[in-house]
Chain A
Amino acid sequence: MREAGKGAGAEPREDDVPDLATLSGAGLVSGLRKGDAVTVQSRTTPAVSFTLNGAPIEVAVEAGVSLLDLLRERLDLTGTKKGCNQGACGVCTVLVDGRRVLGCLTLVAQLDAREVTTIEGVGTPEQPHDLQRAFIGADGFQCGYCTSGQICSALGMLRELADGVPSAVAEHVAAQPGSSELEMRERMSGNLCRCGAYNGIVDAIAAYADAAGGHR
């Protein structure tokens, strides 16, 4: 057993291996005898290379690390939020190759050669994206916790509209979808906002899409 406070490194090391007595005494591994050679390995993925907000990055983390936890806990990119960690709230929405995905349901191991864009890559306080400005103007948030996800989701949603991806409210699956408020509300429904800023969010997306000469 390790002593409290020992070691500040983030990654488990070989010398963190518990002693045999602990292992067998706890019944963790049966049939071990005193003197048996034991090494405990933490399973890690091979290094994964991808593009993050326009810059190449290579990371090697345990296989179970999600994109969301990588961003928040290891890269200090905390603009991407965690709301449920099970794909139900949408606050961790980021863009992978321009499509919206949930950071909590994406493993780092899946990102090889992909292009990841988080809210930090959409715009900055010095140079905000027009959609970010539109959110401020239309008051498309209150507490701000779902906002990064709403903005990334909206960018992905507008691309889906342009690509003709149908939704549940589409008149016909083969028809080019319009961009009515109904369409936007349906397509944004994976992004919860508990403060109830839904009207402002739809207004912001519509204002941005209008100004961008997009799909309205």
Chain B
Amino acid sequence: MTIAPERTTTTAPPTEVPAGAPGPAIGRAVDRVDGLAKATGTARFSAEYPIPGLTHAVLVHAPIARGRITALDTTVAEAHPGVVLVLTHHNAPRLTPPPARMNPMDLSTMAAGSTIPFLNTDEVHVDGQPVAAVVAETLEAAQYAASLVRVEYLEVTPTGDFDAELGNSTPVRSMPVMPPTGGKRGDARAAYGRSPVQVDLAFSTPQHNHNALEPHATTAEWDGDRLTVYEGCQNIDWTQKYLAKRFGISAGDVHVVAKFVGGAFGGKSKVWAATLIACMAAKVAQRPVRLALTREGVYRTVGGRTPTRQRVAIGASASGHMEALIHEVTSRKGRVGGEADQVVACSLDLYDAATILAEQRIVELDLMPNTAMRAPGEAQGSFAVESAVDELAVVLGLDPVDLRLRNQPGERSPVHGTRYSHRRLAQTLERGRDLFGWADRPAPGTRDGKDLVGWGVAAAIHPSWEFIANVQLTVDATGGVTLACAFHEMGMGTATVVGQMVADCLDVPLERVTAVYGDSDLPMGPGAGGSGQTASLAASIERACRAMRKRLDSLSDRVGMPDGSDPGEVLSRAGEGSLTVEVGADSGPRATWGQVRFLSKMVLDSRRWMKAATGAHFCEVRVDADTGELRVTRWTSVFDVGRVVNPKTTHSQLRGGIVMGLGLAMGEETLIDTRSARIMNPSLAEYHVPVHADVPHLDIHTLDDPDPQMPLGILGAGEVGIVGVGAAVANAVRHATGRRVTDLPLTLDRIVG
């Protein structure tokens, strides 16, 4: 590994260094271990494994959102040269039905993207549901033959209009351990009514789709009853257990390979239709099958981020102390699956309002079930609450940073009463204010040439999670150290930072450490979700390294070497080839025990501590006074993500969150035809993700202050970056133009009004 140039590193040196953990590797901005493979195109993604005898599958999607297949003719498609078979509900293998709901004690249920029994039913539940798959010798033959499958439907009018269904919403109840979807402190409605200063705004956010640039792809191969799937996913364990359950085989007979994943952002946590169909097709064809979704196919068969309708009402004293904070949200799920995002969660912990009321409702529509997308809930909810707080500052005539600082909670979470493990949100605001030069904020509506210039600020918070991580640590006589775990590297830098953690925890040079990952044959890893993968791995790495050091020390005692000696030399002297330590177990009583211990720690922790990454965004926008064209021209963010293991990869992750937030702010919107319940813009030409020209230099800073309650002090950096970005931009637009835009995205028609 090489040491990176310092220019991309703006992290301040750690202020405190707890005993035991960090050494020379942690905190260094080292290059990615997989950088060369990615930069030279030699990294193989799941549709890129050369498999002898491979066939290609292409899906046929239903063009209706609700109904039943009345006729299905595959003869022409089957006659097309090169076609191996056409899979439909007539000839597909019968699978064990999907679980009706998720159960955290049965991990095989966690991966169900919907309750639709794909190709095991003639009923259509969502637009784009696969009704057939053509398997052919070539991709071109499969593509063409898919157009030759004739399907007739009995069509039932779907329910697809979110706004029209708001009256049919039902309350969402918070589940234990899961993120909160509601909360209460005092009587907020009464307090709001009594408040001398009131702000009451309605907000809307549209559906978003993840749009990882690698479309979901599965390569499936059966060897008897053993299944191998090359599947770019972000939860190998759930995928393995889910496929095993559906196909009626044991988990050990499902081999999941996910070495490289071309982005996911939540969209590859679950098992969607195409994965199952690829495995079914391979079973029937008795040939390996590759099913790479088209971009449209991703939109139609993978859930997106729920749209929201929100109300935020804040009552305050004339001096700017919040007397009441009310956050009411309605989101949607599918009739065949999905769940509520934790949209109100950030309102429970951003401010110390004297009274708080947060409530969520949900409606069911005939649409693809929603799924988690980067900061699910916090991304949408923070837009509303941080916009409302900004508006309160305008009404009060207070600086929006001062208003936020004035209302920071003390040691305890206002609603839950749990203690903050450490809370540095105020410091991120103060530091960002200085770095951005907030004191020089121009007057509202300042004009520069044809542009109106505005500055905005917003705060961010995202809870920290920890999951089970089983790891195997091996030291060999050459001094090489190998960490084996089925974790996921989707670009977060995990494969790089685990090496840094092992190096310091075991006190060996970084160059000696190798990580193997992305394969279900390895010990079960944590899912890549909830910003929790690195912290989860850190806990197990610390344990494994402590155990390894103990065994090495007893070996060195035996051969008369001092404790802490070089592991390779100890093993050589002792005549041992290698030494292996395992933390956790994948099966048997030890696995059950691990699961119980994990869940009880999670419950106890959640009663005791509120652990979260926080941050503050500062930005400048320019709005063309005539056309309303919006440009973000300057950006500074300061984050508390706990300890930063690698500033280079951490800053990239935080930037990535902000860039996706710029998309949420300025362009991203999945358009639904409310009559047909069909996505109207299933393409990257019509769904506008940020491009190079939309993204200025993003100045990123971290406090690098370890959290005392998290493994190695790591709070997680994957999601906090996107939280608050929508509001920061909207608040800058308010400052530039005087218009409070409450509907995302901030397109020029809304800005011009």
A98 within 8 A of B: no
B103 within 8 A of A: no
**Contact between A12 and B82 (Cβ–Cβ < 8 Å)?**
yes
Task: Return chain A residues, CB-CB under 8 Å to B653.
Answer: 142
**Contact between A143 and B212 (Cβ–Cβ < 8 Å)?**
yes
**Contact between A197 and B38 (Cβ–Cβ < 8 Å)?**
no
**Contact between B37 and A144 (Cβ–Cβ < 8 Å)?**
yes
Cα-based distance from A28 to B41 in the complex (angstroms): 43
**Contact between A18 and B137 (Cβ–Cβ < 8 Å)?**
no
**Contact between A125 and B260 (Cβ–Cβ < 8 Å)?**
no
**Contact between B84 and A4 (Cβ–Cβ < 8 Å)?**
yes
Cα-based distance from A17 to B735 in the complex (angstroms): 69
A132 to chain B, nearest CB (A): 4
B490 within 8 A of A: yes
Residue from B32, B53, B287, B693 with most neighbouring chain A CB atoms (10 Å): B693
Task: Return chain B residues, CB-CB under 8 Å to A142.
Answer: 263, 490-493, 649, 652-653, 656
Cα-based distance from A124 to B660 in the complex (angstroms): 31
Known contacts A2-B78, A84-B683; decide if A65 and B140 are in contact (CB<8 Å): yes
A210 within 8 A of B: no
**Contact between A83 and B84 (Cβ–Cβ < 8 Å)?**
no
Interface size class for chain A? Answer: 35 or more
B395 within 8 A of A: no
- Can you list, as one digit per residue, whether each of A20-33 has a CB less than 8 Å from chain B (1) or not (0)? 00110111100000
B696 to chain A, nearest CB (A): 8
**Contact between B683 and A86 (Cβ–Cβ < 8 Å)?**
yes
Task: Return chain A residues, CB-CB under 8 Å to B22.
Answer: none
B40 within 8 A of A: yes
Task: Return chain B residues, CB-CB under 8 Å to A36.
Answer: none
Task: Return chain B residues, CB-CB under 8 Å to A16.
Answer: 81-82
Cα-based distance from A76 to B138 in the complex (angstroms): 14
B661 to chain A, nearest CB (A): 9
**Contact between A79 and B79 (Cβ–Cβ < 8 Å)?**
no
Q: Give the number of residue pairs across the A-B interface with Cβ within 8 Å.
A: 245
B737 to chain A, nearest CB (A): 23
Task: Return chain A residues, CB-CB under 8 Å to B648.
Answer: 139
- Residues from 540 to 563 in B contacting A, C-beta threshold 8 Å: none
**Contact between B295 and A195 (Cβ–Cβ < 8 Å)?**
no
For B39, give its contact among A23, A128, A195, A196 (CB under 8 Å). A128
Known contacts A78-B41, A125-B37; decide if A7 and B137 are in contact (CB<8 Å): yes
A32 to chain B, nearest CB (A): 13
**Contact between B692 and A189 (Cβ–Cβ < 8 Å)?**
yes
Q: Report the stretch among B42-50, B451-459, B574-582 that lies at the interface.
A: B42-50
**Contact between A84 and B684 (Cβ–Cβ < 8 Å)?**
yes
Task: Return chain A residues, CB-CB under 8 Å to B655.
Answer: 196-197, 199-200
**Contact between B79 and A89 (Cβ–Cβ < 8 Å)?**
no
Cα-based distance from A143 to B653 in the complex (angstroms): 11
Known contacts A4-B286, A119-B40, A148-B41; decide if A192 and B34 are in contact (CB<8 Å): no
B610 to chain A, nearest CB (A): 28
Task: Return chain A residues, CB-CB under 8 Å to B692.
Answer: 184-186, 188-189, 191, 193, 198, 201-202
**Contact between B295 and A84 (Cβ–Cβ < 8 Å)?**
yes
Known contacts A120-B41, A144-B38; decide if A81 and B214 are in contact (CB<8 Å): yes
**Contact between A8 and B75 (Cβ–Cβ < 8 Å)?**
no
Chain A residue with minimal CB distance to B262? Answer: A145
Determine the main DSSP class of B at the interface with A: loop
- Residues from 71 to 96 in A contacting B, C-beta threshold 8 Å: 72-73, 76, 78-89, 91
Task: Return chain A residues, CB-CB under 8 Å to B649.
Answer: 139, 142
B167 within 8 A of A: no
Chain B residue with minimal CB distance to A190? Answer: B691
Cα-based distance from A148 to B73 in the complex (angstroms): 41
**Contact between B85 and A9 (Cβ–Cβ < 8 Å)?**
no
**Contact between B44 and A78 (Cβ–Cβ < 8 Å)?**
yes
A58 within 8 A of B: no
For B491, give its contact among A23, A124, A143, A203 (CB under 8 Å). A143
- Can you list, as one digit per residue, whether each of A141-177 has a CB less than 8 Å from chain B (1) or not (0)? 1111111100100000000000000000000000000
For A23, give its contact among B50, B79, B144, B284 (CB under 8 Å). B79
A55 within 8 A of B: no
Cα-based distance from A184 to B684 in the complex (angstroms): 21
B11 within 8 A of A: no
- Residues from 54 to 82 in B contacting A, C-beta threshold 8 Å: 56, 73, 75-76, 78-79, 81-82
B606 to chain A, nearest CB (A): 30
Known contacts A22-B75, A119-B40; decide if A195 and B695 are in contact (CB<8 Å): no
Task: Return chain B residues, CB-CB under 8 Å to A84.
Answer: 215, 295, 683-685
Task: Return chain A residues, CB-CB under 8 Å to B660.
Answer: 194, 196
For B213, give its contact among A62, A83, A198 (CB under 8 Å). A83
Chain A residue with minimal CB distance to B136? Answer: A12
Task: Return chain B residues, CB-CB under 8 Å to A37.
Answer: none
A180 within 8 A of B: no
**Contact between A26 and B75 (Cβ–Cβ < 8 Å)?**
yes
**Contact between A145 and B263 (Cβ–Cβ < 8 Å)?**
yes
- Can you list, as one digit per residue, whether each of B338-378 has a CB less than 8 Å from chain A (1) or not (0)? 00000000000000000000000000000000000000000
**Contact between A144 and B34 (Cβ–Cβ < 8 Å)?**
yes
Task: Return chain A residues, CB-CB under 8 Å to B492.
Answer: 142
Chain A residue with minimal CB distance to B281? Answer: A4
B98 within 8 A of A: no
Known contacts A194-B689, A196-B655; decide if A143 and B81 are in contact (CB<8 Å): no
Chain B residues near A (Cβ < 8 Å): 4-5, 8, 31-32, 34-45, 47-48, 50, 53, 56, 73, 75-76, 78-79, 81-85, 137-141, 144, 210-215, 260-263, 265, 284-287, 292, 294-295, 490-493, 648-649, 651-653, 655-660, 683-685, 689-693, 695, 697-698
Give 29 A-B contacts (CB < 8 Å), ordered by A residue. Answer: A8-B53, A26-B76, A64-B140, A78-B44, A84-B683, A84-B684, A89-B213, A124-B40, A124-B42, A128-B36, A132-B39, A132-B40, A136-B35, A139-B648, A143-B212, A143-B214, A143-B260, A143-B262, A143-B490, A144-B34, A145-B45, A146-B213, A192-B684, A194-B212, A194-B263, A196-B655, A196-B660, A201-B692, A203-B8
Which 3 pairs between the two chains have the least Cβ-Cβ distance? Answer: A79-B41, A196-B659, A142-B491
Contacts beyond the supplied A22-B75, A26-B73, A194-B212: 10 A-B pairs with Cβ under 8 Å: A9-B137, A13-B81, A28-B79, A72-B48, A85-B295, A132-B36, A143-B261, A144-B39, A184-B692, A196-B659
